[in-house]
Structure 1
Amino acid sequence: MVARRFRSLACAGAVWLAPAAANAQAATALERLEPAPAGDGFFAVPRAEVAGDLRASASLVFSYAHAPLSLRVGAGDAAQEAGEVVSYQLTGHLLAAIEIRRFLKLDLDVPVTLAQGGESPSITGLVSALPPGTPTTYGSPAGAAMNDLRLGVRLVLLPQRGAIPAASLVYAVWVPTGDATAFAGTGEVRHMPSIVVGADMGRFSYSIALGRRVQDTRGGLGLLGGELVAGGAIAGRFGRFSANAELYGSTVTVDALPFGRGTTNIELLVGGRATLGPLALGLAGGPGLTAGVGTPTFRVVASVGASFDVPQKARAEGATGGDASASGRDPKANAKGNAKGNKGPGVEAAAAPDADGDGVPDAKDVCPDRAGDATPTAARPGCPPDRDGDAIADADDVCPDEAGVASADPARYGCALDTDGDGIADAVDACPKERGEANADPKITGCPASVRVEGTQIVILQEVNFATGSDVIAPESYALLEQVAAVFAQHPEIARVAIDGHTDNVGVERANVTLSQRRAVAVVRWLVDHGVDARRLEARGFGPRRPVASNDKPEGRAKNRRVEFQILRRTPLGEAGWKEGAAK
């Protein structure tokens, strides 16, 4: 009852209008949820940072608002509800975004009202120009309608520095593509500059936004005008899941009293998201807390989206060369082809049974059910040619001159065993479980160029570089960290790894310890963003306390400024053995 009482059209203007103005009043964007850009992670509040170097995102957001527009007669405590102009509204948002160089993000929102309806309430005696007792009816919209399209750009002004939050300038423009007669558009261009401040602290993140939306109301028509818009959001991450709480709203600032009961919209959303590979699924809901136009009694939001690193995807496609089956080799198809082959010499003269018709009597045919080599000196009479002697016919053998094994991968059928799939046989691969490149040195051939697993460490042969005095990872280190992420993908038995940050002894020790911890957290965050499960990682900072070389010389100090990957725990259970908490 309390929520119902404080949510309505109230004094926002509908009861003050003559019927001739009713259609103009419909020129209002009733949907008060403006989804955060695709890939941001929150439902309504945008983030301040741009996480990707060149990352694309897309998502679908569905918003159900219950009773967002009601009609009330009277004022104050004497006001009574006369019916719901809009009893429900279901809106779908198609979102797309691209992040560029970690400082620029462009986004698009294509919203559509999928369904809506109301009671078409009537009020008697509202308009003095009409005969007494004549009802004034406010028609409710029905069916689907296009909404105003939104274009946005985000420019990072200050990147996050440890606990110091990032700050961004965001500018959004709404194009009047919506149906202005169905509470789905304003018929006018709207635009909004805003400032967003926020930070990602690993398991905890937050964002705060404040903007001013400007709208030409055509001489005051429409239920809304210029607005002050604000929102705040917090989230906590727990492995693949996150819990969100968001408070957002607006208040009309043109031709109306700001922060008035009927001119202010405030809503609360509580929910969560789950990450399943490249997909992110979200569900949230919450009440409307004020009586402003468009504020529902409650709202439910559901979303599904995906983000991917564009350069990483392009490299993956180039490395795999498309579908492995494109080689066109199908052992079964080849077998059928051989079975229909020409008969060998002397078949017609053979007196003994020859089931496969290859000219070799069944009694002498090593492969009596498959046409093969009828040469008397053949190593395996009656079998298809097999130059490498691995019992896989040359016609089926992708590597006919190299003894191999039957493989589930058609592109490797008959080739030597290659566990890691790097094209180097296990027999000569110095790192048979890690993808690498061929090398003239047999001790390192087949090993990763810069990353390998050795004992209790993931050893990196290059350094993870950061901007001087900060925890911002240098772009030239992305390729190295991609190799580290690949090692995690190839070794599900590695259950827990500590990312250890170290510094030299220049400066204050306490500051160095803090800096090393922030850098370790930055590496953890990068790996999680690129597919490594957060349960497998923890960050530690040691500052200058564990040197590996003397700090008396520059080359020694350079060696001490490093990031290490210590394997704390392995498990034979694979992913089932990854657990939160301290390593055991």
Structure 2
Amino acid sequence: MFRPASVLAAALLSLPFSAHALESGPKSPLPVFDLQRLHLDPAALGSLVVATGRTLAAGQLRVSLNYHYEHLPLHFQTRWEPGDGTGLVENKMTAHLTVGLGVLSWMDVGADVPFILSQGGKPTLEYFGPDSGGLATPWLTARAALLRQTKGAPLNVAVALTAGLPVGSREALAHEDSAWEPRLQLGYVGDGFQVGGEAGVFLRKRRDLGPVSYDPRDVVGNELRLGATVTSLQGETTRGEVSVLTGIPLDGGRVGAELLIAIRRHALSSLDLYVMGGPGVGAGLDTPTFRFVAGVSWATSKVD
């Protein structure tokens, strides 16, 4: 015998279980790309992140070890809301080993090898964010000076090429099949200060994260990357730096920018201690709302 009241009661009782089953259902993997935007300059002759057209002296070696924290490096929002919101990656900690070597008086080479210590966030729609650590994309750089103030030129001008090795962890969202960044760098060293800037094009495969956020502007791909810095050269022990980094998407997406302030302390003639931090500005999905770096570097001779 059909009993409408019994059927209705059974349907109502099943709603919480159906909702829970839907909520805890399988999640889709994210498109794979390298989430890390910041590349430390192995030579650090300009600021820690923006070069000024200078190269390490022939035979000069600089090695650094860095701790790197990022807040909300992968999030989806339509406007800049510092410190607000949740993300697929909310907190990320990375260790960076960098090595720079002067090959010739006008050429140096370098490497930035990041290793993700930990990261975590909250699922978005049907997607889980990465929750594992591991090796991230290592970056190799070669730089050649075209003009040098030490040779009578009015400015320091250099060209650099940075390439990512396709060995980073896919599970940790730290892998690029192919990534290149040619850059033009220039700067001027004055009495107790230097200014500099660089412009480059970051070339990588386009990934559409619109299916994750349901927003067609959430895209990672080719970018025009610009940087500028002012650094102090006054004093024997302490040096201040201010740098600005901007990414302008060429394949769709949103503009992201960062302001980073650093202080270096020359503990010894060959040993530097430093801290750097600042906010991210803009609604770029891979621009953190804040980052902090602390590190130590050793060089065969004083870098600045």
Q: What range is the shorter-chain TM-score in?
A: 0.7 to 0.9
State whether structure 2 residue 38 is matched by structure 1 residue 49.
Answer: no
Alignment deviations for residues 79-112 of structure 1 (CA, whole Å, 9 cap, x no partner): xx87321111112111001113320001011111
Q: Is the 8 A contact 1:121 1:138 kept in 2?
A: yes
1:233 to 229, 251, 254: 229
Alignment deviations for residues 362-396 of structure 1 (CA, whole Å, 9 cap, x no partner): xxxxxxxxxxxxxxxxxxxxxxxxxxxxxxxxxxx
Report how far residue 221 of structure 1 moved.
4.5
Matched AA of 2:104 = R
Higher strand share: 2
1:530–1:140 Cα change, 3 Å: closer
Corresponding residue for 1:29? 34
State whether structure 2 residue 66 is matched by structure 1 residue 61.
Answer: yes
Distance 1:141 1:250 in 2: 23
Tell me the secondary structure at the aligned position of residue 148 of structure 1. coil
Tell me the secondary structure at the aligned position of residue 86 of structure 2. strand
Q: Taking structure 2 as the reference length, what is the TM-score of the superposition?
A: 0.80
Report how far residue 200 of structure 1 moved.
2.1
1:208–1:41 Cα change, 3 Å: closer
Alignment deviations for residues 506-550 of structure 1 (CA, whole Å, 9 cap, x no partner): xxxxxxxxxxxxxxxxxxxxxxx489xxxxxxxxxxxxxxxxxxx
Corresponding residue for 1:169? 159
Q: Taking structure 1 as the reference length, what is the TM-score of the superposition?
A: 0.43
Alignment deviations for residues 164-202 of structure 1 (CA, whole Å, 9 cap, x no partner): 21100100110111122322123x111111100012224
1:289–1:270 Cα change, 3 Å: same
Report how far residue 68 of structure 1 moved.
1.5
Distance 1:157 1:76 in 2: 41
Report how far residue 41 of structure 1 moved.
4.9
Alignment deviations for residues 440-489 of structure 1 (CA, whole Å, 9 cap, x no partner): xxxxxxxxxxxxxxxxxxxxxxxxxxxxxxxxxxxxxxxxxxxxxxxxxx
Report how far residue 22 of structure 1 moved.
4.7
Q: Is the 8 A contact 1:212 1:226 kept in 2?
A: yes
Corresponding residue for 1:271? 262
Matched AA of 1:33 = L
Higher helix share: 1
Matched AA of 2:29 = N
Tell me the secondary structure at the aligned position of residue 268 of structure 1. strand
Tell me the secondary structure at the aligned position of residue 214 of structure 1. strand
Distance 2:303 2:87 in 1: 48
2:76 to 61, 71, 74: 71
Q: Is the 8 A contact 1:233 1:246 kept in 2?
A: yes
Alignment deviations for residues 104-124 of structure 1 (CA, whole Å, 9 cap, x no partner): 0010111111110002234xx
Corresponding residue for 1:249? 246
Matched AA of 2:199 = L
Distance 1:82 1:270 in 2: 24
Alignment deviations for residues 5-43 of structure 1 (CA, whole Å, 9 cap, x no partner): xxxxxxxxxxxxxx9995242x12212211112443522
Q: Is the 8 A contact 1:107 1:151 kept in 2?
A: yes
Tell me the secondary structure at the aligned position of residue 76 of structure 2. strand
1:294 to 286, 299, 302: 286
Corresponding residue for 2:89? 86
User: 1:175-324 residue pairs with structure 2 within 5 A?
Assistant: 175-186=165-176, 188-217=177-206, 220-221=207-208, 223-236=219-232, 237-254=234-251, 256=252, 262-277=253-268, 278-309=270-301
User: 1:92-103 residue pairs with structure 2 within 5 A?
Assistant: 92-103=95-106
Corresponding residue for 1:539? none
Distance 1:160 1:107 in 2: 22
Larger relative contact order (Cα-Cα within 8 Å, sequence gap ≥ 6): 2
Q: Is the 8 A contact 2:46 2:54 kept in 1?
A: no
1:148 to 137, 140, 148: 137
Distance 1:181 1:86 in 2: 13
Q: Is the 8 A contact 2:27 2:127 kept in 1?
A: no
Distance 2:243 2:79 in 1: 30
Q: Is the 8 A contact 1:39 1:306 kept in 2?
A: no
Distance 1:57 1:271 in 2: 18
1:148–1:42 Cα change, 3 Å: same
Tell me the secondary structure at the aligned position of residue 23 of structure 1. coil
The count of aligned residue pairs is 265
Q: Please, which runs of 5 or more residues in structure 2 have no aligned partner?
A: 1-24, 210-218
